[in-house]
């Protein structure tokens, strides 16, 4: 939920912030889950959609069937690399994922919404962000184009939404070269305009940096 934290941080107009990179961002919880079902899960066979909906209505999140469906959805919409990279699978090893925190923030899976994010919204407050922002989504991201565009439209100096082809939510795994090139260009464009050179001249050991953000 790095993009959530980044937006909450940026609306306070902290000193030294030059820009934001928001990777797979949302600015409104209900929009995120509604468009995910409309634009992503709706592409699955009708039988699977109905089965997933029933499992969610029954809150049968720990069933073998629910986990099997989530694994299929993860391959479609989270990371599309086959096989999964070690850095992705390592996140789910025993002791690496705090399921209590995850459920209280997100809900029981990537494809449902509960906890803090269920009613979270920052669209209106984003008008106070005074730095440039790059918002990236994957072509098959769990964050839909509408979800990403909502973030772009809410930040006054956001550049046009970047849709990374062939990528899911973990676009830095799926298409790292494309993402790095886009971010490098954004850093080059916004850095000098926001006072990086002045910061170095004033004797800072580290210039004010662009605040990257991302992930689930």
Q: Quick: pLDDT tens for 142-176.
A: 999 999 999 999 999 999 999 999 999 999 999 99
Which pLDDT band, with edges at 50, 70 and 90, does 204 fall under? very low
Q: Cα(151)–Cα(161) distance, rounded to whole angstroms? A: 9
Alpha-helical regions (H) of the chain: 2-10, 29-39, 46-57, 64-77, 86-89, 99-105, 145-154, 171-174, 176-190, 196-201
42-51, 105-114, 118-127, 170-179: least confident range: 105-114
Give phi and psi for 21, each to the nearest 5. Answer: -110, 115
Q: And the tokens for 185? A: 């260009």
The answer to whether 127 and 15 have CB atoms below 8 angstroms apart is no
What pLDDT does 98 receive?
Answer: 85
What pLDDT does 172 receive?
Answer: 96
Which pLDDT band, with edges at 50, 70 and 90, does 111 fall under? confident
Question: For tokens 């090139």, what's the residue?
Answer: 181
Give phi and psi for 182, each to the nearest 5. Answer: -65, -40
Q: Cα(79)–Cα(167) distance, rounded to whole angstroms? A: 7
What pLDDT does 24 receive?
Answer: 93
What pLDDT does 192 receive?
Answer: 60
Q: Cα(216)–Cα(86) distance, rounded to whole angstroms? A: 17
Q: Cα(107)–Cα(88) distance, rounded to whole angstroms? A: 20
Q: Cα(162)–Cα(23) distance, rounded to whole angstroms? A: 10
Q: And the tokens for 108? A: 């029981």
Among residues of the chain, what percentage have pLDDT more than 70?
88
Q: Cα(53)–Cα(184) distance, rounded to whole angstroms? A: 41
Q: And the tokens for 101? A: 């925190």
Instruction: Indicate if the pLDDT at residue 211 is higher than 50.
Output: no
What pLDDT does 190 receive?
Answer: 79
Query: Between residues 204 and 153, which one has the greater pLDDT?
Result: 153
49-58, 73-82, 132-141, 184-193: least confident range: 184-193
Over residues 123-152, mean pLDDT: 97
What pLDDT does 191 receive?
Answer: 67
What pLDDT does 100 receive?
Answer: 85
- CA neighbor of 120 nearest in space, from 158, 151, 164: 151
Q: Partners of 162 in the beta sheet?
A: 136
Quote the mean pLDDT of the chain.
87
What pLDDT does 130 receive?
Answer: 95
pLDDT in tens, 4-49: 999 999 999 999 999 999 999 999 999 999 999 999 999 899 999 9
């Amino acid at each position: 939920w790095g993009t959530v934290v980044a937006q909450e941080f940026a609306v306070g107009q902290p000193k030294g912030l030059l820009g934001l990179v928001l990777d797979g961002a949302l600015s409104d919880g209900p929009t995120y889950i509604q468009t995910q079902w409309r634009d992503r899960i709706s592409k699955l066979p009708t039988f699977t959609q109905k089965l997933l909906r029933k499992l969610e209505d029954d809150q049968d999140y720990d069933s073998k069937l629910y986990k099997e469906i989530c694994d299929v959805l993860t391959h479609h919409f989270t990371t599309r690399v086959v096989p999964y990279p070690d850095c992705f699978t390592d996140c789910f090893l025993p002791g690496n994922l705090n399921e209590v925190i995850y459920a209280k923030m997100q809900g029981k899976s990537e494809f449902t919404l509960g906890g803090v994010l269920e009613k979270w919204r920052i669209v209106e407050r984003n008008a106070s962000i005074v730095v440039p922002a790059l918002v990236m989504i994957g072509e098959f991201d769990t964050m839909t184009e509408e979800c990403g565009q909502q973030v772009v439209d809410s930040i006054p100096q956001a550049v046009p939404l970047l849709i990374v082809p062939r990528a899911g939510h973990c676009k830095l795994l799926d298409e790292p070269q494309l993402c790095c090139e886009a971010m490098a260009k954004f850093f080059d464009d916004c850095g000098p305009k926001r006072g990086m050179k002045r910061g170095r001249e004033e004797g800072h050991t580290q210039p004010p940096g662009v605040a990257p953000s991302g992930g689930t």
